Amino acid sequence: MKRKVTIYDTTLRDGAQGEGVSFSSVGKLMLAKRLDQFGVDYIEGGFPGSNPKDIEFFEAIRKEELQHAKIAAFGSTRRVRSRVQDDVNVKSLLAAETPVVTIFGKTWKLHVKDVLRTSLKENLAMVSDTVAYLKSKGKEVIFDAEHLFDGFKDDPDFAMSVLQAAESAGADHLVLCDTNGGCLPHEIFEITQGIVSTVHTPIGIHAHNDIGVGVANAIEGVRAGATQVQGTMNGYGERCGNANLISIIPSLKLKLDVNCCHARKLRHLRDLSMFVDDQINVRHDTRAPYVGRSAFGHKGGAHVNAVQKNPATFEHIEPETVGNERHILISEHSGGSSILLKAIEVGAGGEAASKEDTAAILKELKSLEHKGYAYESADASFRILVQKVLKKHKPFFELDGFRVTVEKSGKDAPCVSEATVKVRVRGEIEHTVAEGDGPVNALDSALRKALKGFYPEIANVHLSDFRVRILDPQEATAATTRVQIESGDGVDTWGTVGVSENIIEASWEALVDSVEYKLFAEESKKS
């Protein structure tokens, strides 16, 4: 029988302590429901004694019928020299009405003396009193042993006495926390293994990522006997973040054969990772292990050729296992195998390309990249390039000309951008004018305005990202500029590229490719 390890998610509390991370009340509820659907065992909803938003969350989540997860409220032990039943924070934990309560207590003498400024005996009583009181109220109690590893290295006897106090009081789980995130994996393993062999209560591991080994430390904790892993989605959290559950879960499941997630749910891992980023308005990390776009991206010609023959040659798992997919990256270093696979991937007819066609595509690609074009993040532009080389490209419109003006009528007046576009569509001339937040936005609006009567499907296309790179900065204002645009329609996203000494012309190239790609995609659906 496979070993079972429970997943405890603290994205909504510990993750929200990260710089620039903030969840709305609605966002917190949506994420909790998504985590439950994925199969997370515990969801830490927040610190009800700290802010109204967390109190509001606990009130709202009680009305939801969760499929799998238990909701936990987070707080501390009672305060120094106070009665536990009178402690304000303990009262707020009970008021949250969650089935699980997680409390943290000090296991490092440094914190007892310099932070709590009390005796070691009182610290033990604070832990014991709080755990026992919460258990008497019918709660499942998880004791987070704060700074356990640093405390253990300082005085193992005292650290163990704190764990034993929580265990004797009835704690259901003892979680060993590397709160400062400064321990190495071998330390985590050795200390955890020793504690597992000493206590009788199930052990958990809570690692931080301050030296970049949070995931490794969590995995070592499990290898040493921990049966619960705490962490956050995408590793969000204070300072350098928490151990990243998005990396931990598939590593436990696929590498250690640990029962922590259903294989069917694991296929939604990438979607979950992207959903969390969307909630806090952060771009998804393209290099994220398992779920990033680059995680299964192949660029070197020899690598691509090998993957074509047997994906296991350069992929440690099948991308689909975690909801990802293989990507072939195209550059001047690419070979024929790369070109063919990439053409097939973007639906540009690569499967029908001859050796001569492939050579022609590669020649054109190298020529354009020499001029500054880059297609690694511009699949849509690459598809159009292939179609042009294969003489399969059919333009949906032709440019007669455009004009862009930027006007500022006074020192305190706003900057106004206006674009005029003249295009030929199906034998008709469309001449439109539009304003925008900037010159590129105005140009985009004018082009859409000209085309929408002929191609209403472009109405839902939007620009999600706009990046500019100066390719030869020594030329100063006369330098060649590369513009890369990411577009989406609510279902798919695609990238395009344009290059010119004029940033507006480069932007126009990328905009035209973006629109044409959408129109090609819609036409393909109909055929």
Residue-wise pLDDT for 248-272, tens only, equals: 999 999 999 999 998 899 999 999 9
Beta bridge partners of 72: 44, 100
Task: Provide φ and ψ at 362, rounded to 5°.
Answer: -65, -40
**Rounded CA gap, 90 and 55, in Å?**
14
Beta bridge partners of 242: 208
**Rounded CA gap, 161 and 426, in Å?**
82
Q: What is the pLDDT of residue 346?
A: 46
299 vs 75, higher pLDDT: 75
Three-state DSSP state, 513? helix
pLDDT surpassing 90 at residue 220: yes
End-to-end CA distance of the chain: 51
Q: Which CATH class is domain 6-260?
A: alpha beta
Output the CA–CA distances (angstroms, integers) from residue 49 to 54, 72, 94, 202, 395, in the order listed: 8, 13, 10, 27, 61
Which of 332, 351, 355, 352 is closest to 341 using CA atoms? 351
Same fold, 6-260 and 293-389: no
Structural fold of domain 293-389: H-NS DNA Binding Protein (4.10.430)
Q: What is the pLDDT of residue 376?
A: 67
Q: What is the pLDDT of residue 469?
A: 84
The model carries a pTM of 0.73
Could you read off the pLDDT of 417-463 as tens digits, one per residue? 999 999 999 989 999 999 988 898 899 999 999 999 999 988 888 88
- The pLDDT of 160-167, averaged and rounded, is 97
| Residue recorded with tokens 């405390």 | 151
414 vs 196, higher pLDDT: 196
Which of 370, 312, 319 is closest to 345 using CA atoms? 319
Structural fold of domain 397-454: Double Stranded RNA Binding Domain (3.30.160)
Domain ranges of the chain: 6-260, 293-389, 397-454
Could you read off the pLDDT of 107-160 as tens digits, one per residue? 999 999 999 999 999 999 999 999 999 999 999 999 999 999 999 999 999 999
Q: What is the DSSP letter of 256?
A: S
Output the CA–CA distances (angstroms, integers) from residue 415 to 10, 52, 432, 446, 508, in the order listed: 44, 40, 21, 18, 21
User: For residue 140, which amino acid is it?
Assistant: E
Write out the DSSP string of 334-373. --HHHHHHHHHHTTSSGGG--HHHHHHHHHHHHHHHHHT-
Contact 290, 274 (CB under 8 A): no
Residues in the chain: 527
* Strand spans (E) along 164-249: 173-178, 203-207, 228-231
**Rounded CA gap, 249 and 231, in Å?**
10
